[in-house]
Structures are given as structure tokens and as C-alpha cells.
């Protein structure tokens, strides 16, 4: 028995529906990845090209021209480890934010829980992250950087990365109903935020008084953790992790709001 | 089972025009809709564009939320609301079937089990590994329809889609739909083709402006539809080489029961008098299917150009069942139709006193006296 009316369904029931449809999200994600690279000669190799270009360009700028001090760790590894987490974070927001608009025609003609759309979009960046990680290990080998045991924590960091990106992405999605300014705001914001986050530099580059402010940015903490796990740099301070918890609240509120607004959003499409 | 109770859906539509502030207009796409559809029945939706048919289907599919009222569905619903919208053009037919099947709630194992059957039904074996962007719309329908009917969905919704298949496939769909109904699946389909609905549906709802105008047995609802919403009678012949004027004077009943006759009268003015012309008048039912016609060669010596003459066509009334009929006018020159004026006149037969006749009226238009003899041993 299935009742359709305009009363909001309880959060738990919505979550259950999404949980049941989770395999569908995986099928969607697989299909999207296959489509993305299906008409290319090099296929997944295209993931490497932009990353390699970034790493080379910033290595030339920061370590050769500006001579940034990264202590004993080679600069390309610093830049690349920063890009790993950042790119995944950025991909999620880029994919999730406008997802309802992009799939509007589909959503209006097909029966599926709407949450599946932003959810599967958030998973697409995983392929690129995986390939980038492989590339990173090759780079570590070239620089004779040892593999540390702390690398085992990597899956946890990737999950945090995923949730962090999704918490912002879903809000972009929620707020871009009738007007889509928020999507543009988010994309421009990311271009600024990459410089407020120690992606191409280490937190130590700034005077020590500013460091706590840097750690208000959750990506600072996460990238710090990536560098700790992969390169053995210092672990982010405890207060940074506490600040990260705020984003858990943002995430849950974002999902709840999505469930409440999903039909309204569909009407605007 | 589908139970719809006072359902309504309001859209806020923004009006944008240059140099003026945007205003918002509220439009009720569906208003105060209530009906009950028992398990194993098929309901047809018909009505002019913008009547709310698609909106209703989308609410039942769970795509839109109603503004007020509620609908109770006895099971999961599956829908084909558009040809190929769920398919990705770059993926092959097989991959798309798998995707659509999973989306409609099949598990991986169920899908593997159903796949051969789906493929067989769609008759697309040869094209299964072709990207669907090379498919025709008929092939899309085969794929979508075959996949959906092999899922567990208890409620099936179709929007304007069954019309694109060829007649062989439609016949197959028809058979399949009958067996699905026997399995207890409930169906709602929207269409602009009354004949299709008459074939597939038990009941038909005529919709206009978001509201139900008529809900009842298919034939009766379709008569209602063709009376109120189908094309209005063709007015005058324009740029005709043969006809100056044609007026439908109406139909009258002459004679007494049981030999009542219907007389259909036209006033005709011809432009030419030299050619050998034949007048033909035909009767079509509410679905505009031809029932019978009368022909009469004109005696051309007696025809005066631009002078009216009266043409009367009569036939026994008792052959027509209750319902709505169209009168069509044709001119023949030898074997060729040179002038045709479809639906020039309307004819309505009221219900008969005899209850046996009224049962017939719900199913077909023509009555011929016949006997069924039952021998009990």
C-alpha cells in the first residue's frame, strides 16, 4: 500500500527508500562513467592529463621560481597530495550542485527516488581519485618516498572527503531552485577557496597566528590528514578535527532539506 | 487498485516579458479529481492538450507531489511516460534494458532471469548490441514496453506511447495487456486516439482543464468525448471545384415504431453540371470508423449549376445502437472521390427502452437482429 499526498514523509522513511535504491545509484554511476569515456581513444587516460599538467605547472612556479620551502618532502609530492583531496572535493560540488537541472528531463519522465541523482553524481569523482592515487604512488616511487603504515587510514579519509564535498554540494542543489545563481557562486567560490586552502603550499607558509583560521576550513584538515597518511607530515591539530564535526551537522541538515524540498525543486525544472 | 481522492496540483508559472517585472501565475493542472480503479482494470485518459493527463500520470508515478488530496496505490508503479527518455543514446539496447530493469525494481538475479523473455518480446535480438541512438521510435517503444511489463510493478502507467508501435506489435501489446490485467495488474493510459483506448481500456475518463468531465465505460466516454471535444463539424467546402454550398439540415425520425427510419437531409449547390457525379453519404461511429454508406448517381440533365437541391438519405433507425454518429458527405466522379467533407453532421441516438439494446450500446454501434439459441439437454 502506497499513499501519495502532500504531507512530508518522515526522514527515516525517506532514508529507507534511498537505501533500497542504492544499487540503482551504483548502476547510474557506472553507466555515467562508461558514457563519459566511451567516445574517446584514450579513455581513462584523460583523467591523468589535467592532473599532470597542474602538478608540472605549479612545481615550476612554486618550487623553481618562488623556491617555496617544503623541508625534506619534494614539492611535486606536496602539490599532488593537495590536489588529490581538493580535486575530489571540487568534483563532487561541480557534479552535485547542478545535478537536478542537468537531469531534469530525466527526473520528469522516470520513476526513481530523486535523491539518487545527487548521490550518484557525487560518486563519479571516485574514478579520477583512484587513478590519481595510482599516479601519486608512481611519483612516490620516483622520489623514493617510503610507503607508511598510516596509508591504511586512506579509505576513512576518502569517506570524509566524500561527505564533506556532499554536504556543500547538496546545499548548492537545495538552494538552486528557481534561480541557479548558487551554482555559479559555488563554482567561482571554489576558485577562490583553492588559495585559502593549503593545496599548493603547506600551512606553515603563513604566519603562525593565522593557522587556526586556516583550520576553520575543513579542507585544510583533510588535506593535512592526506599528507600525514601518505607523506608522514604532521597530523592536523585536535581543534581542527572538532571544527570538522560542524560539517556533519551541515550534511544531515542538507539531506533533510533536500527531502523536504525535492518536489518543489522538480516543479521548477 | 488505485484510489484517487480529491486530487489537485497547482503550478506557479512565471510570466517573463521584456521590460516588465516577472509575475507569477497560478495554474491548476489538476483539480478535484476523484476516482477508483479496481485491481486488474485499465483506465484510459483522453482530453485536449493541457487537460492534465500527463500531470495525473506523473503524480501517480511519484514524480510530482499533489498540492492537495491523496492517491492510494496498492503497489509499486512503473511508467513509460516518454519514448526513450530513460535510455541513454550511447549505450546498447542490452545495456539499456538492464538499466531500465534495475530502475523498475528488479534485482540483478531477477533481471538475468527475465532478460531472455524481455529480449524475445521486444523482437530486437539483432539490434541488441547497437547503440540505441540508431533506433527508431518504434524500437524504443518495444524496448521500454517489454522491459516494464516484465517487472513486478503492479501499476502500469503509459503516456501517449502505445501509438508508435506497428500494428503487429500493437496486437502483441494488446494480447499482453489482456493477460497482465488477468494477473491483476492495474493500468492507466493516456492517448489522443479514441480507437486505441476503446481497444485497451475498460473505462475511460474524459479530462479538460484539469477536471474530470466524464468517467464511464469506454464507449460511452468516447462518445462523450467526440461530441464535446473532437473536431467540430466541417463548415463549408472551400476552394471546391464542384461544390458551391453544402448545408446539413439535420436528421429526423420518420415513420412509426417498429419501422422508424432516420432521414438525413442536405441542401447542395453544385458548380458544374456537365460531369457525371455520384453523391455518397456515409455514417461513422464516435471513433470515426466507417459503418455504412449510401450512393446515388446524379441525373446530370436535371442539375442546374448554382441552384439548390435537396439530398435525403434514409435508413432504418433500429440498426443503430444508442450513441453518437457522424455523417460524412462525398462526391464521386466515376470511381474517384473528388470531394470529401468528413463529419459534416452529427447524429445522436438516444437510449432505447429495451434493456438488451442498451447493453449493446456500450460496446458497438451497429445492431442487427440476431438470435442466440441455447439448447439445454
Contact state of A109 with B59 under an 8 Å Cβ cutoff: no
Looking at the structure, tell me whether residues B248 and B318 fall in a common domain.
Answer: yes
Q: Which residues of A touch B (CB under 8 A)?
A: 1-6, 23-24, 27, 31, 34-35, 38-39, 105-112, 178, 263, 266-267
Of A230, A77, A240, A231, the closest CA to residue A152 belongs to A230
- What is the percent of chain B with per-residue pLDDT over 70, rounded to a whole number? 96
Domain holding B302: CATH number?
2.70.50.60
Q: What is the pLDDT along chain A (269 residues), one digit of tens a residue?
A: 788 888 888 888 888 888 888 888 888 888 888 887 777 777 777 778 888 888 888 888 877 777 777 677 888 888 889 989 999 999 999 999 999 888 888 888 888 888 999 999 999 889 889 988 998 998 889 888 888 888 899 999 999 999 999 999 999 999 987 788 889 999 999 999 988 888 888 887 778 788 878 888 889 999 999 999 998 888 888 888 888 888 999 999 999 999 988 888 888 87
Under a CB-based contact definition with an 8 Å cutoff, are residues A29 and A120 in contact? yes
Looking at the structure, tell me whether residues B65 and B154 fall in a common domain.
Answer: yes
Smallest Cα distance from B124 to chain A, Å: 22
Contact state of A107 with B76 under an 8 Å Cβ cutoff: no
Under a CB-based contact definition with an 8 Å cutoff, are residues A89 and A223 in contact? no
Range of the domain at A190: 11-268
Looking at the structure, tell me whether residues B223 and B264 fall in a common domain.
Answer: no
- Structure confidence at residue B234 (pLDDT): 56
Contact state of B11 with A267 under an 8 Å Cβ cutoff: yes
List the single residue in A with minimal CA-CA distance to B159.
A109
Q: Tens digit of pLDDT for each residue in B257-311?
A: 778 899 999 988 888 767 788 999 999 988 788 999 999 998 888 888 778 889 9
Q: Is residue B202 part of a domain?
A: yes
Give how far Cα B139 sits from Cα of B73, B84, B92, B192, B197, Å.
30, 9, 12, 21, 22
Q: Which of the residues A1, A3, A4, A261 would you substitute to probe the B interface, choosing the one with the greatest number of B C-beta atoms within 10 Å?
A: A4
- Structure confidence at residue B264 (pLDDT): 92
Q: Tens digit of pLDDT for each residue in B214-227?
A: 998 888 888 888 87
- Whether B63 contacts chain A with CB within 8 A: yes
Least confident window among A189-193, A244-248, B42-46, B357-361: B357-361
pLDDT at B233 over 60: no
Rounded Cα distance, A25 and A118, in Å: 9
Sequence-distant (6+) residues with CB within 8 A of A163 are A247, A248, A251
Q: Is residue A157 part of a domain?
A: yes
Q: Is residue B376 part of a domain?
A: no
Looking at the structure, tell me whether residues B69 and B169 fall in a common domain.
Answer: yes
Contact state of A110 with B74 under an 8 Å Cβ cutoff: no
Q: Tens digit of pLDDT for each residue in B191-208?
A: 888 878 888 888 999 998
Q: Is residue A1 part of a domain?
A: no
- Nearest CB among A27, A109, A178 relative to B99 is that of A27
First to last CA, chain B: 42
For residues B343-355, give the mean pLDDT.
83
Rounded Cα distance, A175 and A180, in Å: 8
For residues B307-324, give the mean pLDDT.
88
- Structure confidence at residue B230 (pLDDT): 67
- Nearest CB among A1, A23, A108 relative to B102 is that of A23
- Nearest CB among A6, A38, A110 relative to B86 is that of A110
- Whether B217 contacts chain A with CB within 8 A: no
Q: Is residue B60 part of a domain?
A: yes
Residues of chain B found within 8 Å of residue A266, distances taken between Cβ atoms: 63-64
Looking at the structure, tell me whether residues B171 and B73 fall in a common domain.
Answer: yes
Rounded Cα distance, A216 and A206, in Å: 14
Looking at the structure, tell me whether residues B279 and B306 fall in a common domain.
Answer: yes
Residues of chain B found within 8 Å of residue A267, distances taken between Cβ atoms: 11-12, 64
Q: Is residue A118 part of a domain?
A: yes
Q: Is residue B237 part of a domain?
A: no
Looking at the structure, tell me whether residues B201 and B250 fall in a common domain.
Answer: no
Residues of chain B found within 8 Å of residue A3, distances taken between Cβ atoms: 70-73
Q: Say whether B109 sits in a helix, a strand or coil.
A: helix
Q: Is residue A6 part of a domain?
A: no
ipTM of model: 0.80
Q: What radius of gyration do chain A's Cα atoms show?
A: 20
Q: Tens digit of pLDDT for each residue in B56-69?
A: 999 998 888 899 99
Sequence-distant (6+) residues with CB within 8 A of B264 are B248, B250, B251, B281, B312, B313, B314, B327, B345, B347
- Structure confidence at residue B34 (pLDDT): 92
Max distance between CA atoms of chain B, in angstroms, equals 87
Smallest Cα distance from B129 to chain A, Å: 14
Contact state of B88 with A27 under an 8 Å Cβ cutoff: no
Q: Is residue A259 part of a domain?
A: yes
Looking at the structure, tell me whether residues B339 and B309 fall in a common domain.
Answer: yes
Looking at the structure, tell me whether residues B217 and B265 fall in a common domain.
Answer: no
Looking at the structure, tell me whether residues B82 and B222 fall in a common domain.
Answer: yes
**Is the pTM higher than 0.90?**
no
Rounded Cα distance, A260 and B166, in Å: 43
Looking at the structure, tell me whether residues B153 and B278 fall in a common domain.
Answer: no
Instruction: Please count the structural domains in chain A.
Output: 1
Sequence-distant (6+) residues with CB within 8 A of A97 are A169, A172, A173, A176, A182, A183, A186, A187
Question: What is the pLDDT confidence band of residue B237, given thresholds at 50, 70 and 90?
Answer: low
For residues B17-31, give the mean pLDDT.
80
- Structure confidence at residue B295 (pLDDT): 92
Domain holding B135: CATH number?
3.40.50.300
Smallest Cα distance from B202 to chain A, Å: 23
Range of the domain at B218: 2-12+27-228
Higher pLDDT, A212 or B29: B29
Looking at the structure, tell me whether residues B94 and B68 fall in a common domain.
Answer: yes
Question: What is the pLDDT confidence band of residue B232, given thresholds at 50, 70 and 90?
Answer: low
Under a CB-based contact definition with an 8 Å cutoff, are residues B57 and B191 in contact? no
Instruction: Please count the structural domains in chain B.
Output: 2
Cβ contacts from A onto B, under 8 A: 84
Amino acid at each position: 500500500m502506497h499513499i501519495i499526498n502532500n504531507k512530508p514523509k518522515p526522514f527515516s522513511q525517506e532514508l529507507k527508500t534511498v537505501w533500497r535504491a542504492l544499487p540503482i545509484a551504483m548502476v547510474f554511476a557506472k553507466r555515467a562513467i562508461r558514457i563519459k569515456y566511451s567516445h574517446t581513444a584514450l579513455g581513462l587516460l584523460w583523467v591523468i592529463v589535467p592532473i599532470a599538467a597542474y602538478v608540472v605547472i605549479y612545481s615550476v612556479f612554486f618550487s623553481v621560481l618562488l623556491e617555496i620551502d617544503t623541508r625534506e618532502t619534494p614539492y611535486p609530492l606536496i602539490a599532488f597530495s593537495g590536489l588529490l583531496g581538493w580535486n575530489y572535493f571540487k568534483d563532487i560540488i561541480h557534479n552535485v550542485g547542478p545535478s537536478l537541472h542537468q537531469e531534469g528531463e530525466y527526473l520528469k519522465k522516470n520513476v526513481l527516488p530523486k535523491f539518487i541523482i545527487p548521490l550518484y553524481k557525487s560518486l563519479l569523482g571516485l574514478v579520477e581519485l583512484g587513478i590519481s592515487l595510482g599516479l601519486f604512488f608512481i611519483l612516490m616511487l620516483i622520489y623514493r618516498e617510503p610507503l607508511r603504515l598510516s596509508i591504511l587510514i586512506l579509505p576513512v579519509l576518502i569517506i570524509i572527503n566524500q561527505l564533506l564535498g556532499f554536504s556543500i554540494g547538496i546545499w548548492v542543489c537545495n538552494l538552486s531552485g528557481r534561480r541557479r545563481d548558487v551554482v555559479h557562486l559555488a563554482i567561482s567560490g571554489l576558485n577562490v577557496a583553492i588559495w585559502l586552502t593549503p593545496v599548493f603550499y603547506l600551512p606553515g607558509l603563513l604566519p603562525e597566528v593565522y593557522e587556526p583560521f586556516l583550520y576553520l576550513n575543513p579542507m585544510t584538515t583533510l588535506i593535512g590528514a592526506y599528507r600525514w597518511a601518505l607523506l608522514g607530515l604532521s597530523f592536523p591539530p585536535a581543534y581542527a578535527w572538532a571544527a570538522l564535526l560542524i560539517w556533519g551537522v551541515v550534511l544531515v541538515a542538507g539531506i533533510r532539506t533536500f527531502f523536504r524540498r525535492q518536489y518543489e525543486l522538480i516543479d521548477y525544472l | 487498485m488505485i484510489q484517487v481522492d480529491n486530487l489537485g496540483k497547482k503550478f506557479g508559472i512565471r510570466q517573463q516579458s521584456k521590460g516588465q517585472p516577472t509575475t507569477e501565475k497560478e495554474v491548476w493542472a489538476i483539480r478535484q479529481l476523484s476516482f477508483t480503479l479496481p485491481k486488474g482494470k485499465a483506465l484510459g485518459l483522453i482530453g485536449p492538450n493541457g487537460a492534465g493527463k500527463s500531470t495525473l500520470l506523473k503524480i501517480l508515478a511519484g514524480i510530482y507531489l499533489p498540492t492537495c488530496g491523496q492517491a492510494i496505490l496498492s503497489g509499486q508503479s512503473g511508467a513509460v511516460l516518454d519514448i526513450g527518455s530513460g535510455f541513454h543514446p550511447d549505450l546498447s539496447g542490452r545495456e539499456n534494458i538492464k538499466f531500465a530493469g534495475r530502475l523498475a525494481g528488479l534485482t540483478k538475479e531477477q533481471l538475468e532471469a527475465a532478460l531472455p523473455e524481455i529480449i524475445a518480446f521486444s523482437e530486437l535480438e539483432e539490434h541488441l548490441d547497437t547503440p540505441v541512438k540508431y533506433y527508431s521510435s518504434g524500437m524504443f517503444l518495444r524496448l521500454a514496453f517489454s522491459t516494464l511489463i516484465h517487472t513486478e510493478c503492479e501499476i502500469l502507467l503509459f503516456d501517449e506511447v502505445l501509438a508508435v508501435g506497428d500494428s503487429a506489435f500493437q496486437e502483441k501489446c494488446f494480447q499482453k495487456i489482456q493477460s497482465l490485467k488477468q494477473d491483476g495488474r492495474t493500468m492507466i493510459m493516456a492517448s489522443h486516439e479514441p480507437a486505441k483506448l476503446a481497444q485497451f481500456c475498460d473505462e475511460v475518463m474524459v479530462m479538460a482543464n484539469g477536471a474530470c468531465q466524464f468517467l464511464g465505460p469506454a464507449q460511452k466516454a468516447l462518445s462523450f468525448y467526440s461530441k464535446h471535444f473532437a473536431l467540430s463539424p466541417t463548415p463549408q467546402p472551400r476552394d471546391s471545384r464542384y461544390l458551391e454550398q453544402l448545408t446539413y439540415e439535420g436528421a429526423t425520425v420518420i415513420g412509426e415504431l417498429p419501422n422508424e427510419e432516420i432521414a438525413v437531409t442536405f441542401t447542395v449547390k453544385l458548380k458544374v453540371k456537365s460531369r457525371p457525379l455520384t453523391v455518397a453519404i456515409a455514417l461513422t461511429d464516435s471513433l470515426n470508423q466507417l459503418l455504412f454508406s449510401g450512393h446515388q448517381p446524379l441525373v446530370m440533365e436535371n442539375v442546374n449549376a448554382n441552384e439548390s437541391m435537396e439530398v435525403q438519405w434514409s435508413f432504418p433507425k433500429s440498426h443503430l445502437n444508442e450513441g453518437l454518429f457522424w455523417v460524412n458527405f462525398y462526391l464521386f466522379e466515376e470511381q474517384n472521390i473528388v470531394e470529401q467533407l468528413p463529419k459534416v453532421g452529427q447524429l445522436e441516438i438516444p437510449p432505447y427502452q429495451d434493456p438488451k439494446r442498451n447493453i449493446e450500446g456500450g460496446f458497438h454501434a451497429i445492431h442487427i437482429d440476431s438470435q442466440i439459441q441455447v439448447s439445454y439437454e
